[in-house]
Amino acid sequence: MNDQPSSEADPRPRVVSGIAELRAAVAAMRQRGETIGLVPTMGALHEGHLSLVRAAGGECDRTVVSVFVNPTQFGPQEDLDQYPRTLASDVDQLREAQADLVFAPQASSMYPPGFSTYVQPSAVAQLWEGQSRPDHFRGVATIVLKLFHLIPADAAYFGHKDYQQTRVIQRMVQDLDVPIAIKVCPTVREADGLAMSSRNRYLSPQQREQALGLWRSLSLAREQVSGGQREATQIERQMREVLSQHGIQRIDYAALVDPETLESVAEVRGPVLALLAAYVGQTRLIDNLRLDI
């Protein structure tokens, strides 16, 4: 296979599924002295993912994108089987976004028989998503560390949309001395404010309307803070009210937290993050917004 720098004749991005093939392609980039940006995804790509690919492309010589629906981060009652798998159209979008290499492994090569070693993530993983989805971050940290070993990138790109995940990964690379810079890119939203998510495609048109409640709830929190409200419980109560007005009754959490520790805050005194997880029908959505005084 050709591992020369891309030319017009090159079928970029190259798509590999085998680990040996991946390692060889990445080693060739390294040998040429190229810097590498890695974008881990579960596929079903949208503009949010592509913004990470473009950010990587802007800062690194080569962009590697992984597309893998990681079974270990799904709970037993979750949507692993249903999760959209759209590799052909993902690759088309990645071509457009100028990715160089796509790693799309089979689950059996990431988790061969006998696989039994997991990363136990930090305390920050126990909060919020960790309460609602026990073991979720163990699966995330394990697959991300495996990807970091397979693809020794200079930088890896993650979305602010999954804010708690970025904190778990930042802590992991610090604690385990992984020499990869973690870059956090802004949440990409639909025109009306709904955060883009692969799971949005589960929503019926009516649920799509309801889902806007998440953004409205976060926006209200921001308005409250800029209007001088400092009591977190008051803001959280109103956030829940907005969700409820949109027909969203099942709320996992609606909280104001410290952006560093993710601990709840009682009072808004400095930078704060509003965090939400709620169900629209059967679809669980998360979002967050930074609220600055």
Q: Which residue has the tokens 């778990």?
A: 168
Which window, 111-119, 126-134, 194-202, 208-216, contacts ligand AMP (CB under 6 A)?
A: 194-202
Does 274 bind ligand AMP (CB under 6 A)? Our answer is: no
In the complex, minimum distance from the CB of residue 115 to ligand AMP, in angstroms, rounded to a whole number: 20
Question: Of the candidates 41, 72, 142, 217, which one interacts with ligand AMP according to CB under 6 A?
Answer: 41
Does 133 bind ligand AMP (CB under 6 A)? Our answer is: no
Are 196 and 48 in contact by the 8 Å Cβ rule? The answer is: yes
Are 185 and 158 in contact by the 8 Å Cβ rule? The answer is: yes
Does 128 bind ligand AMP (CB under 6 A)? Our answer is: no
Candidate list 49, 136, 160, 246, residue with the active-site label: 49
Which window, 7-15, 77-85, 102-110, 155-163, contacts ligand AMP (CB under 6 A)?
A: 155-163
The residues, any chain, with a CB within 8 Å of residue 97's CB and separated by 6 or more, are: 50, 53, 54, 57
Per-position x/- string for 49-88, each x denoting binding to ligand AMP as judged by CB under 6 A, each - no binding: x-xx------------------------------------
Does 197 bind ligand AMP (CB under 6 A)? Our answer is: yes
Please say if 49 is a catalytic residue. yes
In whole angstroms, give the CA distance from residue 100 to residue 10. 10
Phi, psi of 286 (to 5 degrees): -125, 155
Tell me whether residue 41 or residue 63 sits nearer to ligand AMP (CB atom): 41
In the complex, minimum distance from the CB of residue 247 to ligand AMP, in angstroms, rounded to a whole number: 22
The residues, any chain, with a CB within 8 Å of residue 278's CB and separated by 6 or more, are: 213, 214, 243, 248, 250, 251, 252, 254, 284, 285
Does 48 bind ligand AMP (CB under 6 A)? Our answer is: yes
In the complex, minimum distance from the CB of residue 227 to ligand AMP, in angstroms, rounded to a whole number: 27
Which window, 15-23, 47-55, 246-254, 275-283, contacts ligand AMP (CB under 6 A)?
A: 47-55
**Looking at the annotation, which residues are catalytic?**
49
Where on the chain is the footprint of ligand AMP (CB under 6 A)?
41-42, 48-49, 51-52, 158-159, 161-162, 185, 187-188, 195-198
